[in-house]
Structure 1
Amino acid sequence: MKADELVAVSTSLGGDFKSIEPHLIRLEKHLTLRTYLAGYTLSDIDSKIWLAIKSNRVAVSFVRKGTYPNLHRWFTYVEQAHPEIQADVKAADEARKAKIQAASRAGASYALALQDTDKGVVTRFLPEPSGYLHIGHAKAALLSDYFAHQAYKGTLRLRLDDTNPSKEKEEYQDAIIEDLALMGVKPDVVTFTSDYFNHLYDTCLTLIKAGHAYADDTDVETMRDERGRGIASKRRERTVEENLAIFDAMKNGTEEGLKNCIRAKISFDNPNKAMRDPVIYRCNINDPHHRTGNTWKIYPTYDLACPVVDSLEGVTHALRSTEYTDRNPQFQWFLDTLKLRQVFMWDFARMNFIRTFLSKRKLAKLVDNGRVWGWDDPRMPTIRGIRRRGMTIPALRDFILKQGPSRNVVSMDWASFWATNKKEIDPVAPRHTAILKKDHCKLAIMGDEAPAEPRTEDKPLHPKNPAVGTKKVAFSKELIIDQADAKSFKDNEEITLMQWGNAIVRAVASGDPITSLTCELNLKGDVRATEKKVTWLSTQGQQLVDAELWDFDYLITKDKLEEEDDLEQFLNPTTATMEEAFCDEGVAKLKKDDIIQLERRGYYRVDKGYNDGDDKKVVLFCIPTGKNK
């Protein structure tokens, strides 16, 4: 092997055994007559490859077993003859522990004592492509990513659980992959449950032939009632031959087949209802699968596909929310009955927020009924929705990882979620000014200090961060201010015009609304002594920018929506409000997704830039900060 080939090998010794086996074989051949990989002393490439193997628990296990004699000889010799290399190993271990301790200090414990991690760690994220990812999915994805790539040098698999063609779309599949990339989650392998339809079909045949599954034509309501009361189905004792014949009829989508499903024969009266003969195969002849088309007329359920494919794909640790805890014994039953490789489970609490629901079925209903603008609506708890509202990815990751993999189920307020985001955006958000169009008040500047002609000055975009840059601020005798400010002024009251200086109120026009007032500049006045700091815009010396300022409320009026609740009864009738405003001309330069602060109003995300369309206006979405208004 040449030097560049050895370098390539050193960077490829990650992942599962299947992906690294060819590299181990190449190293085995290369070392047939060599003590070192390169030269006659410990080289840099020897150190890199030794450390790469050492840090991959799967690789080191095979090397130590002596599966590759030359590689085993070299690995052991380097370990014994060069104790200095152990310092690098120790440093890597300490770095990993430091990450875990840092997460614990941040409010979450990651010391889970996962089983058999010395044999390698392979986690998976298993979303169904039946909707867009929401914040609950984000927690599952980020935790699986954390344990695979940070806590342990392992592998993260993304598997799209596409077993229900009546609800799944390629649109959702693509969106899931895009959203994970947006969150910085980079799976090492991407697969689909549909990749294993042939294997799962054969698995179901195996269960039927062994007497561990049966065909059942009981109607849905009766089956649900019997499972709830622990009553055996009248079809439970069908013969193997009869079950095989019906399963074949299901596969062909015949009239008889369509009446039936296949159920695992576990128990009919187990105290754990998840163990009461779950359905493992169903017919569907009406909806083409978005990947396999009309090839199949029967599809496995999650209960069968999850344990079988997890084991088949080499998953070592499956993390899922506590709503699946009752299914853990069922998962284990399939592994034991089918004599499959063990997969360890860890349950974590799902993220629950007040006045929020995460049911994809209910969220889809809002989209389909036009109650929201789409899956990326800023009122939706989807990744795209909260991103459109103004949540940054670093804040999202930080917030979720601080929750950790605890099993304690809590219902959180959104305040802490958005407060985390404020810490990210406040140090870098440029400051701009907006005056509401409705009933805005004209303010005339008088006195010796009033500018004779309109002029502009460069002012900092951020009072504490010069790196954000500067903006042009126009000064003139003709200003506009908000009506609420005008109504609060008293004659001869001294106020502060922000980014200009103090002024004294001299004349306020009578009426409601107030249409105009006059002020005399007092730039020598102490800005710290005034009670009122007022935002304003000059109507001269700049081209004011038209803007829409949007704000949003919760979609539902109830803190916790129960499964049996009628969604329509608890929908908030007004969840979006908009006010038209004038903004300073610097706002015209903003692009979609920029985040700014409008002085005295709050933080906003640019949903549409000034030049994004023919209407020449900016659309801004208010970003919550965690404080109640």
Structure 2
Amino acid sequence: MIKEDNAYADDTDQNTMRDERMTGKASARSNRTVEENIAIFEGMITGTQVENCIRAKISIDNPNKATRDPVIYRCNHTPHNRTGTLWKAYPTYDFACPLVDSPEGVTHALRTTEFADRNPQYQWFIDCFNLRRVHIWDFARLDFKRTFLSKRKLTKLVDAGRVSGWDDPRMPTIRGVLRRGITIAALRDFILKQGPSRNVTLMDWPIFWNINKKEIDSIAPRHTAVDQQKTVIATIIKRGPEKAYTEERPRHNKNSTLGTKKVAYSRQLILDQEDAKLFKQDEEITLMAWGNAIVRKINRFSLDYRSPVIDIELELHLKGDVKKTEKKITWLSTEGQSLIPAELVDFDYLLTKDKLDEDDNWEDFLTEETEFWTAAFCDANLATCRMGDIIQLERKGYFRVDAPYKDGKAAVLFNIPIGKTGYLTSCLRLSHG
């Protein structure tokens, strides 16, 4: 380019160069000789001409400011993570893209609309080197409510320790949403439904996660969990089993291919406080996967009906009609199985505001607390779950196993949003509501 007088070396200071490009004024260095430009460029490569850059000689007064002799090569002595200090100067992003795309066989360069002003620059470089033309396909970037996709801002979150890394489930990265529990099939479906639109879209997260729910509902084995800190003891005083026993039950009532699991039954059960505090004396309820029972006694911390429940007594009524009961309750037997400890983790949005305005300082709108942990007891079948498995804890939601139960250490389960209620679902509401 330099030898053909399509580029020149320029040591104009940054502020002056910016002002000249804005006003359409040619640089005093644009008329340097080819020999002088070559010598300076060689000095940039060896690191002796650090004050210079190389500019493409496109146009200085074009209405499209992107074509006003853009910088295409500049000095940078920061050691490269792969080549160390071998190179002292590097091409700019805009210069490198067309010179990579065309030789590598790219037919369509997919670029977001903020690069539209640079498209003529892209094609000029192609023509300058007599390369095969590449078709540019512009599309609008996708934005999500209460988050941002800027790599610069996300890097600051990682560096500041506000998130654990680029695969943190709160991060709007591919690795992040995969770790949160999105499936490849749902992700692909979501992308295809957006299409190559040029309209800027502010997407709501529930739409994203609702597509995923349709994928996982039929393949997620069912399990049961009870909040460790808000456990209520339930004793079956009549018509209960004489001793604990187990039965084989489907892991998913509508998908027999998932196999079976062992369900333990006994007179000693534990329930969630959120359920027990709503019981009424002599009310008939349904113990899911077992049958009906009648609440015969409710012991509370005080006489106030709003007071937390300590324990209850139940009378089994397995001939009762499960369709007529108002409350369908999950439960766990404390006998006949080894309960598995688990940490249920839920997450909030990164930002407190749906969409930031131009003059907003994004750091002022970071959600203060975005991670919530709840200790739970789970049925014994959870011990066989592996990292990455997606399950449903009945009446609590869908979860991805981020760390399986091992050597007595609690499993870590990440709550997967289902779309209807946004990011925070039943796990968070039960524990922090």
Give TM-score, length-normalised by structure 1. Answer: 0.64
1:549 positional shift: 0.2
For 1:281, the aligned partner's letter is Y
Report the 3-state secondary structure (helix = DSSP H, G, I; strand = E; otherwise coil) of the residue aligned with 2:322. coil
CA deviations 1:227-253 (Å, max 9, x no partner) are 344443343333333322221211111
The structure-2 alpha-carbon separation of the partners of 1:260 and 1:603, relative to structure 1 and needing over 3 Å to count, comes to same
Aligned to 2:410: 617
Displacement after TM superposition at 1:407 (Å): 2.1
Match of 1:515 in 2: 310
Deviations 1:562-589 (A, max 9, x none): 6764332121111110100000010111
What is the aligned partner in structure 2 of residue 459 from structure 1?
249
SS of 1:385's partner is helix
Give a deviation string over 1:21-54, Cα, whole Å, max 9, x none: xxxxxxxxxxxxxxxxxxxxxxxxxxxxxxxxxx
Q: Report SS of the residue matched to 1:502.
A: strand
- In structure 1, the residue matched to 2:106 is 315
Partner-residue secondary structure (3-state), 1:312:
coil
Separation of aligned partners in 2, 1:212 and 1:295: 26
* Corresponding residue number in structure 2 for 1:53: none
The structure 1 residue matched to 2:165, chosen from 374, 378, 384, is 374
Does 1:475 pair with 2:256?
no
What is the deviation of 1:529?
0.6
SS in 1 for 2:86: coil
Q: Is 1:431–2:222 an aligned residue pair?
A: yes
CA contact (8 A) 2:102 2:132 kept: yes
Partner of 2:347: 552
CA displacement 1:377-431 (0-9 Å, x = unmatched): 0001111111100001111111112222222221111112111111111001000
Superposed, 1:408-423 pairs within 5 Å as: 408-423=199-214
Q: Does residue 36 of structure 2 align to residue 245 of structure 1?
A: no
1:227 and 2:21 are equivalent in the alignment? yes
Aligned counterpart, 2:431: none
Identity, % of aligned pairs? Answer: 64
Moved more, 330-339 or 275-284: 330-339
The aligned runs of 1:246-325 (5 Å cut-off) are 246-254=40-48, 257-290=49-82, 292-325=83-116
512-521 or 220-229, larger mean C-alpha shift? 220-229
Aligned partners of 1:528 and 1:381: how far apart in 2? 42
CA contact (8 A) 2:59 2:67 kept: yes
Kept after mapping to 1: 8 A contact 2:47/2:75: yes
Residue 212 of structure 1: aligned partner: 6
Alignment counterpart, residue 404 of structure 1, candidates 155, 177, 195:
195
Instruction: Report what 2:133 is aligned to.
Output: 342
> How big is the shift at 1:302?
1.7
Tell me the SS of whatever aligns to 1:541. coil
For 2:221 and 2:26, locate their aligned partners in 1 and report how far apart those are by CA, in whole Å: 67
Q: Which residue of 1 aligns with 2:429?
A: none
Give the structure-2-normalised TM-score. 0.92
Report if aligned partners of 2:169, 2:176 keep a CA contact under 8 Å in 1. yes
Q: Distance in 2 between matches of 1:276 and 1:591?
A: 57
Aligned AA (2:119): N
Total equivalences in the alignment: 417
Candidates 550, 553, 566, aligned match of 2:361: 566
Task: Please tell me whether the aligned partners of residues 215 and 263 of structure 1 are also in contact (alpha carbons under 8 angstroms).
Answer: yes
Q: Deviation per CA, 1:315-335, whole angstroms, max 9, x where unpaired?
A: 332222222211111111112
Matched to 1:470, the amino acid is T
- Structure 2 counterpart of 1:392: 183
Q: 2:18 & 2:365 partners in 1: Cα distance?
A: 28
CA distance in 1, matches of 2:395, 2:201: 34
C-alpha separation in 2, matches of 1:224 and 1:626:
47
Q: Are 2:375 and 1:584 equivalent residues in the alignment? A: no
- The structure whose RCO (Cα within 8 Å, separation 6+) is larger is 2
CA distance in 2, matches of 1:246, 1:407: 42
Q: How far is the alpha carbon of 1:211 from its aligned partner?
A: 2.3
Aligned counterparts, 1:173-184, within 5 A: none
CA distance in 2, matches of 1:237, 1:289: 36
Shift of 1:615: 4.7
> Quick one: which amino acid aligns to residue 258 of structure 1?
V
Does 2:166 align with 1:361?
no
1:501 aligns with 2:291: yes
1:356 and 1:554 in contact (8 A); partners too: yes
**Secondary structure of 1:520 counterpart:** strand
Task: Show the counterpart of 1:102.
Answer: none
Closer, same or farther in 2 for the Cα pair 1:299/1:509, shift >3 Å? same
Secondary structure, in 3 states, of the residue corresponding to 2:344? strand
Amino acid corresponding to residue 414 of structure 2 in structure 1: F
Report the AA paired with residue 220 of structure 2. Answer: A
Partner-residue secondary structure (3-state), 1:333:
helix
3-state DSSP class of the match of 1:604? strand
CA contact (8 A) 1:263 1:278 kept: yes
Q: Give the secondary structure class of the aligned counterpart of 1:531.
A: coil
In structure 2, give the amino acid aligned to 1:444: T
The alignment status of 1:605 with 2:400, answered yes or no, reads yes
SS in 2 for 1:258: coil
CA contact (8 A) 1:456 1:474 kept: yes
Q: Name the one with the larger helix percent.
A: 1
Residue 324 (structure 2) pairs with residue 529 (structure 1): yes
Q: Hey, what does 1:543 align to over in structure 2? A: 338
Specify which structure has the higher proportion of strand. Answer: 2
Counterpart AA for 1:344: H
Q: Distance in 2 between matches of 1:336 and 1:501?
A: 76
Name the structure 2 match of 1:118: none
| Alpha-carbon distance, 1:604 to partner | 0.1
Aligned AA for 1:607?
D
What amino acid does structure 2 have at the position aligned with 1:626?
G
Equivalent residues of 2:392, 2:398 under 8 A apart: yes
Gaps (5+ residues) in structure 1? Answer: 1-206
Letter in 2 for 1:401: L
* Matches for 1:184-199 after TM superposition, within 5 Å: none
Look up the SS of the partner of 2:39 in the other structure.
helix
CA–CA distance in structure 2, aligned partners of residues 238 and 524 of structure 1? 97
Relative to structure 1, the CA distance from residue 239 to residue 309 in structure 2 (aligned partners, 3 Å threshold; closer, same or farther) is same
Kindly indicate whether the alpha-carbon contact (under 8 Å) linking 2:78 and 2:85 is maintained by their aligned counterparts in 1. no
Q: RMSD of the alignment, in Å? A: 1.7
